[in-house]
């Protein structure tokens, strides 16, 4: 788990200790607290499953079968995201030319409306 999730190290300041795993954290509203309990239970269940696999097989096996594929997939996602957001041919708009509505309309329909020139970071929609 990243330190950002365990200890709130960036983002807006909160008056109390902010932790993404604490349902009573000031990050969450009252209606979100049950979801945090469910999420925490899922994290604990996954740790328990990995522990049981480690006991049954070995730590090396768990790293080879679970850890290495996880690192490859996450590395791939980071690489793709980086490439999609940094290509020099892609236009970058400031808030006067681009807003949430234009972006979502273009994303879902593939057509430019509400503006004479409208594009996203996806080169297929230009």
Average of per-residue pLDDT across 20-41:
92
Could you report the per-residue pLDDT of 37-49, keeping only the tens digit for each?
999 999 999 999 9
pLDDT winner (highest mean) among 10-19, 72-81, 101-110, 112-121: 72-81
- Whether 103 is covered by a domain: the verdict is yes
Domains in the chain: how many in total?
1
Is residue 107 included in any domain, yes or no?
yes
List all residues 6 or more positions away from 37 whose beta carbon is below 8 Å from its beta carbon: 23
Task: Please compute the mean of the pLDDT values over residues 107-126 and round it to a whole number.
Answer: 50
Examine the pLDDT at 118 and tell me if it is beyond 50: no
Question: Has residue 114 been placed in a domain?
Answer: yes
Domain assignment of residue 55, yes or no: no
Question: Is 48 part of any domain?
Answer: no
Using CA atoms, how far apart are residues 116 and 126, in angstroms rounded to an integer? Answer: 12
Within a domain: 13: no
| Residue 102 in domain | yes
d(CA 75, CA 38): 27
Asked whether residue 97 is assigned to any structural domain, the reply reads: yes
**Exposure class string for 61-95: b at 16+ Cβ within 10 A, else e:** ebeeeeeeeeeeeeeeeeeeeeeeeeeeeeeebee
The residue range of the domain holding 105 is 89-126
């Amino acid at each position: 788990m990243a330190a950002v999730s365990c200890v709130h190290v960036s983002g807006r300041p909160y008056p109390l200790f902010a932790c993404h795993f604490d349902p009573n954290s000031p990050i969450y509203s009252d209606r979100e607290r049950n979801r945090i309990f469910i999420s925490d239970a899922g994290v604990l269940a996954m740790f328990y499953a990995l522990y049981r696999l480690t006991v049954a097989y070995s730590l090396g096996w768990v790293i080879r079968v679970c850890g290495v594929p996880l690192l490859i997939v996450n590395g791939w996602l980071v690489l793709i995201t980086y490439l999609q957001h940094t290509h020099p041919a892609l236009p970058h708009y400031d808030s006067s030319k681009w807003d949430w509505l234009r972006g979502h309309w273009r994303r879902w329909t593939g057509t430019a409306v509400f503006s004479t020139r409208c594009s996203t970071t996806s080169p297929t929609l230009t």
